[in-house]
Structure 1
Amino acid sequence: MVYKGIYHLFYQYNPKAAVPGNIVWAHSISKDLINWTPHPPAISRDTPYDINGCWSGSATLLPNGEPVIVYTGVNTENQQVQNLAMPKNPSDPNLVEWIKPPYNPVMAPTQQNMINASSFRDPTTAWLGRDGLWRLIVGNKIGQNGRMLMFMSRDFVHWSQSKQPLYSRRGTGMWECPDFYPVSTGGEDGVETSVAGRGVKHVLKASMNDAFFDTYAIGTYDLGKDVFVPERGSLRLDSEMRYDHGKFYASKTFFDSSMKRRVLWGWINESTNAAIDISKGWSSLQAIPRKIWLHKSGKQLVQWPVKEIEKLREGKVISPTKELKGGSVLEISGVTASQADVEISFEISTMEKVEEIDPSLTDDPQAICSYGASKGGVGPFGLLVLASKDLQEYTAVYFRVFRAKSRHVVLMCSDQSRSSLNLDYDKPAYGAFVDVDLVKEKLSIRTLIDRSIVESFGGDGKACITARVYPSIAIDGGAHLFAFNNGTDDVKISNLAAWSMKAAQIN
């Protein structure tokens, strides 16, 4: 949230180890979303209703401007319950100290409300209805059916459960870290969470515990029935409507009133196992915060790194327009390849050698990407990042164009199969189809590279893929950056700009 001109990030943290357990709410502040200063934990495990864990939740700004946090505590009976926390001194813009009111918990599973006490967590930011009642949702499942349970309150203290969920779907498992917010149908500006009605659509998002990805649906919030009606997407386990097609989970948005934008935060987990995480002393981190909005088509959301990240850029390298011959590799020199921001756009001159897509894989882009960046027709072409000079190691981020019946489809891949000579971790390939009009639009990739993280944005943010990679050769001065084309047809690099990135202050 942003409070008195300062950004506050609260996050799940174990102060005693590099792996999950002993979870508290850590707290850091920033004036630019990039450089962060830590404070003591805001919420710790010190009461009967959260002694076994202070799990995820959300902050809401009340009409008087003061914040209140609603979070999941795990009580002495290992039940998941919802609690409040408030700043001890609201006049302190840093909000260093937080207190818990004596009437916690404010929402709890009972026999009457038939809530599964082991799957009842992660309350959202609350919104204020036209009837003067606050509403929020909590993730839940009954059997294998995912549910967004809704609770209502007039005073933010006494909460009652709605007669029906905001939304539910059979066979989807537990819906973690739900989010529900409006998006403007008329531009990229963000919308305050309580806005409803004309000029907005609503987004319902869930972190799918059974499949470990974040999916969303776009639709209408029926104010009369208090339900969400999806129009595109429906929170299925096989959904391709995802924030990010790589390592990105447990995400949350907030409305940044200072910049009139909605900002998305996501958690990037490791590709190593717990033993390796313990040996290196840390694990997991936050993705670069992203501005998120509804595409003008209304079909999907679009994401882009917040503009403030550009303050870390230095030493810009640009390249003139040039042909990238089929089977060629071009080094992009002059930047610190282990920590860089790269923007590249391609033009395709001919579609004569476009390959037919395997009909059995039209709904499985990751399966196509798992074949690697081997020779094709139109593509693969893109970037080789965190690459060793001799290309023993690299992570490939690229496009490939296929023909499917009477249309062309664009595939974006992020392939880690060659990312390291070390064999002790997962090295998957991720993929997504990108909705691009090849007649009117160029194919663009922006990639943020940060030593073990590769965040890629294809088609001006229509498809996002985050990867964790751990090169053993392509580190520090041994890292290189290349553009490549493994297709038969030549492609044109119409725009190429790259920057070295200074280090941010992070705790």
Structure 2
Amino acid sequence: MNVHKQKIEEAEQSIAAVENEVSQNYWRLHYHLTPPAYWMNDPNGFSFYKGEYHLFYQHHPFSAEWGPMYWGHFKSSDLAAWERLPIALAPSEDYDKDGCFSGSAIEKDGKLYLMYTGNVWTGNNYDEQLKQVQALAQSEDGVTFEKLADNPVIAEAPAGNIHPFHFRDPKVWKYQDFYYTVLGSKTKQNTGQVLLYRSADLLKWEFVNVMAKGEGNFGFMWECPDLFLLDGQDVLVMSPQGVKPEGHLYHNLHQAGYVLGKLNYETGTYTHGPFHLLDYGFDFYAPQTTIDDKGRRILIAWMDMWESEMPTQNHNWAGAMTIPRIVTLKDNQLISKPAPEIEKLRKNEVSYQHVTIEGETSLEGISGDCLELELTIHAKNASQFGLKVRVSEEDKQETVLTYHKKEQLFIFDRSQSGEGPGGERKADVKLNDNELTLHIFIDKSSLEVFINEGEKVMTGRIYPSQKAVGITFFSDESIDIINFKKWHLEKSIK
């Protein structure tokens, strides 16, 4: 047996030993992808191959902490029901012995290719003493992968003002006759940037240019870049590290967002507009997109944040993915909406029309810890209103979503959400004809709030008690809940 297969078998045995115990943990998410056990971070290799969606992820299969990275693997025919597949990549070669870091996937000649960063530590200082290269693995069936003998296919960073070691997260695509990949990078003075490479065959790559570089408050490293064409615009998604807070923006350790522009494929230069966040909540990083057979651009991100407290680590697991989101362009902004296939998980609809709320009240049949909610609120003369979810009066727990009309701010407050980190996040939101629409996904330890048809999204991990299932509505003056629907959502992983 080769070393790669052996390492994968050892990892699978490690997971199998605790998987059943992990599955009993109350905070295990029902319809979000989580590792079967131990650690998960960035989505990788998100792709549509032979009629199915494949999602790989950064995975440490021996503890609930970040460690030498493997690639875990899920697949789905419909974005609603997912199946876990065997681990796809393990660190087994000289060029990736300390981790198969993030990357992407592309189909070529009927095979699925994974392009990833091989990482080697050259000393104990992980910020400075490392060597990163880009490598390929291929599969005939989308399940079992073999690393290419020609690896690494990009053995070193280019010359110039490019950091020689921080050089990772290839996202590959095809345009006309060539394959292209973007790589996350930084200058020697610690300014984030993205590099562009080109290849005729995926094996031999030429450096084209520094495609884009940060100016001003744009971070010291750009991770997980992703470039795609949407309605005539080239969208660059990336995760800049080290952006400093500005007002109520950029209060997470690291950010994830996008710029809109145009890539000149000949010169490799990208002209673009301002940076926008993709999510205004607490836990959203390293988003990656793919395009499916319906022509939709679908995005998934890691639903956690570096250096945040993760109470699930005490239960031998950590990390989750957001639900799949369909991204479209409207008025030069990306709009994110839940993939409609998630509706397949719905059960037990409860609906209300034209409910007047003043003060604080609850509605019959509206409670739970694994729900989808849709509501439209007419604000009338109220200046503050919203709802509380995952409420337990006994445990003094609640997660509060409030709209402040005067400031035009939507606030997600998890300071009393239970265990884990607290705090609040804010997003600028304008009412439409004095109405606010919310599409809310509550899971055992997460909350995703889509505001005004996906103009803004706020995501956060929360860790309430099992008793925290209440939902209440509140307002300082009378409001009208024009429409309200609630569904229980079933599990998504087979």
Using the size of structure 1 for normalisation, the TM-score is: 0.80
2: distance between equivalents of 1:306 and 1:269? 20
1: distance between equivalents of 2:271 and 2:393? 52
Contact 1:435–1:462 (CA under 8 A) maintained in structure 2: no
Please name the residue that 2:179 is paired with. Answer: 134
Runs of 4+ in 1 over 4 A off after TM superposition: 270-277
Among 447, 469, 480, the alignment partner of 1:492 is 480
Among 319, 340, 346, the alignment partner of 1:284 is 319
Please name the residue that 1:39 is paired with. Answer: 85
Amino acid at match of 1:419: S
1: distance between equivalents of 2:234 and 2:240? 19
Q: Does 1:215 align with 2:257?
A: yes
2: distance between equivalents of 1:271 and 1:166? 27
Please name the residue that 2:55 is paired with. Answer: 9
Please name the residue that 1:401 is paired with. Answer: 405
* Residue 81 of structure 1: how far off its partner (Å): 0.6
Please name the residue that 1:427 is paired with. Answer: 422
Contact 1:48–1:76 (CA under 8 A) maintained in structure 2: no
1: distance between equivalents of 2:282 and 2:313? 23
Please list, as runs of the form range in 1=range in 2, the aligned pairs for 1:436-455 lying within 5 A after superposition: 436=431, 438-439=432-433, 442-455=435-448
2: distance between equivalents of 1:393 and 1:9? 34
Amino acid at match of 1:287: T
* Residue 460 of structure 1: how far off its partner (Å): 0.9
1:251 to 1:60, Cα distance in 2 relative to 1, 3 A = same
Contact 2:196–2:268 (CA under 8 A) maintained in structure 1: no
Please name the residue that 1:59 is paired with. Answer: 105
Amino acid at match of 1:53: G
Q: Does 1:179 align with 2:179?
A: no
Q: Does 1:81 align with 2:133?
A: yes
Amino acid at match of 1:480: G
Please name the residue that 1:418 is paired with. Answer: 416
Please name the residue that 2:454 is paired with. Answer: 461
Structure 2: give runs of 5+ residues left out of the alignment.
1-46, 123-129, 243-252
2: distance between equivalents of 1:110 and 1:321? 60
* Residue 118 of structure 1: how far off its partner (Å): 3.0
Q: Does 1:322 align with 2:355?
A: yes
Query: Per-residue CA shift, 1:72-123, capped at 9, x if unaligned?
Result: 0113643011111111xx2x3xx22111111111113257455423311101
* Residue 125 of structure 1: how far off its partner (Å): 2.4
Amino acid at match of 2:174: W
Query: Which of 385-394 and 24-33 deviates more?
Result: 385-394
Among 325, 345, 357, the alignment partner of 2:376 is 345
Contact 1:140–1:176 (CA under 8 A) maintained in structure 2: yes
Please name the residue that 1:261 is paired with. Answer: 296
Amino acid at match of 1:378: S
* Residue 223 of structure 1: how far off its partner (Å): 4.1
Q: Does 1:309 align with 2:342?
A: yes
Contact 1:57–1:71 (CA under 8 A) maintained in structure 2: yes
2: distance between equivalents of 1:53 and 1:116? 19
Contact 1:73–1:81 (CA under 8 A) maintained in structure 2: yes
* Residue 274 of structure 1: how far off its partner (Å): 6.5
Percent of matched pairs sharing the same residue: 29
Bigger relative contact order (CA 8 A; separation at least 6): 2
1: distance between equivalents of 2:425 and 2:480? 25
Q: Look up the SS of the partner of 2:277 in the other structure.
A: coil
1: distance between equivalents of 2:399 and 2:313? 25
Contact 1:144–1:170 (CA under 8 A) maintained in structure 2: no
Among 199, 203, 214, the alignment partner of 2:235 is 203
Answer 1 or 2: which has greater strand percent: 2
1: distance between equivalents of 2:376 and 2:435? 6
Query: Per-residue CA shift, 1:254-286, capped at 9, x if unaligned?
Result: 0012x3211101101269966844422111111
1: distance between equivalents of 2:110 and 2:429? 40
1: distance between equivalents of 2:491 and 2:153? 42
Amino acid at match of 1:156: L
Among 486, 489, 493, the alignment partner of 1:501 is 489
Amino acid at match of 2:389: V
Query: Per-residue CA shift, 1:370-402, capped at 9, x if unaligned?
Result: xxxxxxx611x1221101146821101222112
* Residue 449 of structure 1: how far off its partner (Å): 0.4
* Residue 503 of structure 1: how far off its partner (Å): 2.2
Q: Look up the SS of the partner of 1:321 in the other structure.
A: strand
Aligned length: 428
Contact 2:281–2:412 (CA under 8 A) maintained in structure 1: no
Among 15, 18, 23, the alignment partner of 2:69 is 23
Q: Look up the SS of the partner of 2:415 in the other structure.
A: coil
Contact 1:18–1:282 (CA under 8 A) maintained in structure 2: yes
Please name the residue that 1:385 is paired with. Answer: 389
2: distance between equivalents of 1:275 and 1:320? 39
Contact 2:280–2:425 (CA under 8 A) maintained in structure 1: no
* Residue 22 of structure 1: how far off its partner (Å): 1.9
Q: Look up the SS of the partner of 2:101 in the other structure.
A: strand
Please name the residue that 2:44 is paired with. Answer: none
Please name the residue that 2:25 is paired with. Answer: none
Contact 1:335–1:500 (CA under 8 A) maintained in structure 2: no
Please name the residue that 1:154 is paired with. Answer: 200
Q: Look up the SS of the partner of 1:166 in the other structure.
A: strand
Please name the residue that 1:96 is paired with. Answer: 143
Contact 1:393–1:419 (CA under 8 A) maintained in structure 2: yes
Query: Per-residue CA shift, 1:199-242, capped at 9, x if unaligned?
Result: x11211111222412021112223453322113x24xxxxx533
2: distance between equivalents of 1:220 and 1:442? 35
Q: Does 1:119 align with 2:166?
A: yes
2: distance between equivalents of 1:275 and 1:323? 39
Contact 1:397–1:456 (CA under 8 A) maintained in structure 2: no
Contact 2:287–2:299 (CA under 8 A) maintained in structure 1: yes
Q: Look up the SS of the partner of 2:343 in the other structure.
A: helix
Contact 1:270–1:284 (CA under 8 A) maintained in structure 2: no
1:344 to 1:157, Cα distance in 2 relative to 1, 3 A = same
1:177 to 1:122, Cα distance in 2 relative to 1, 3 A = same
* Residue 244 of structure 1: how far off its partner (Å): 4.0
